[in-house]
Chains A and B, each alone.
Chain A
Amino acid sequence: MPVEALTLVPKAEARQTPKDFKSDQEVRWCPGCGDYAILAAVQGFMPELGLARENIVFVSGIGCSSRFPYYMNTYGMHSIHGRAPAIATGLAASRRDLSVWVVTGDGDALSIGGNHLIHALRRNVNLKILLFNNRIYGLTKGQYSPTSEVGKITKSTPMGSLDAPFNPVSLALGAEASFVARTVDSDRKHLTETLRQAAAHPGTALIEIYQNCNIFNDGAYDVLKDKQSAEEAVIRLEHGRPIRFGADGARGVVRDRATGDLEVVTVTPDNESDVLVHDAHAATPTTAFALSRLADPTTLNHTPIGVFRSVERPVYDTLMADQLDTAIEQHGKGDLALLLAGNDTWTVESAS
Chain B
Amino acid sequence: MTYVIAQPCVDLKDKACVDECPVDCIYEGARKLYINPDECVDCGACEPVCPVEAIYFEDDLPDGWTDFRRADTEFFADLGAPGGAAGVGPADRDHPVVAELPVPASS
Does B bind A?
A: yes
Interface residues of A (CB under 8 A from B): 22, 27, 29, 31-34, 36-37, 39-40, 185-189, 212, 214, 227
Chain A residue numbers with a CB within 8 Å of B62 are: none
CB closest residue in chain B, given A186:
B23
The proximity string for B residues 22-57 relative to A, scoring 1 for CB distances below 8 Å and 0 otherwise, is 111000000000000001011111011000000000
A31–B43 CA distance with the chains assembled, in angstroms: 5
> B22 near A32 (CB under 8 angstroms)?
yes
Given known contacts A31-B45, A32-B43, A188-B39, A37 and B22 CB-to-CB distance under 8 angstroms: yes
Q: Say which residue of A22, A37, A187, A188 sits within 8 Å of B43 (CB atoms).
A: A37
Question: Considering the chains assembled together, what is the distance between the CA atoms of A334 and B21 in angstroms?
Answer: 59
Smallest Cβ distance from B89 to chain A, in angstroms?
Answer: 12
A36–B41 contact, CB under 8 A? yes
**CB nearest to B42 among chain A residues:** A36
Q: Nearest 3 pairs between A and B by C-beta?
A: A32-B45, A36-B43, A40-B41
* B20 lies within 8 A of chain A by Cβ: yes
Is the CB–CB distance between A31 and B41 below 8 Å? no
Chain B residues near A40 (CB-CB < 8 A): 41-42
Contacts of A227 in B (CB 8 A): 86-87
How many residues on chain B are close to A (CB under 8 Å)?
A: 18
Residues of B within 8 A of A185 (CB): 22
Which residues of B does A touch, CB under 8 Å? 1, 20-24, 39, 41-45, 47-48, 81, 83, 86-87
Identify which of B20, B41, B81, B86 contacts A37 (C-beta below 8 A): B41
Knowing A37-B41, A40-B41, A40-B42 touch, does A32 contact B83 (C-beta < 8 A)?
Answer: no
Nearest CB on A from B47, distance (A): 7
Smallest beta-carbon distance A244→chain B, Å: 21
**Most chain B CB within a 10 A radius of its CB, from A31, A185, A212:** A31
> Chain A nearest CB: distance from B24 CB in Å?
7
Do A32 and B24 contact each other (CB < 8 Å), given the known contacts A37-B41, A39-B41? Answer: no
Report Cα–Cα, A186/B24, bound state, in Å: 8
* A240 to B21 CA separation, bound complex (whole angstroms): 35
14 A–B pairs (Cβ distance < 8 Å), ordered by A: A22-B1, A31-B47, A31-B48, A32-B20, A32-B22, A32-B43, A34-B22, A37-B41, A40-B41, A40-B42, A188-B39, A188-B83, A214-B22, A227-B86
Q: Name the residue on B nearest A43 (C-beta).
A: B41
Bound-state Cα–Cα, A32 to B23, Å: 9
- Pick from A29, A188, A214: contact of B23, CB below 8 A: A188
Q: Give A98 Cβ to nearest chain B Cβ, in Å.
A: 27
Tell me the smallest distance from the CB of A230 to a CB of chain B, in Å.
11
Q: How far is the CB of A208 from chain B (nearest CB, A)?
A: 18
Residue contact A214 to B41, C-beta cutoff 8 Å: no
Q: Min CB distance, A71 to chain B, in Å?
A: 10
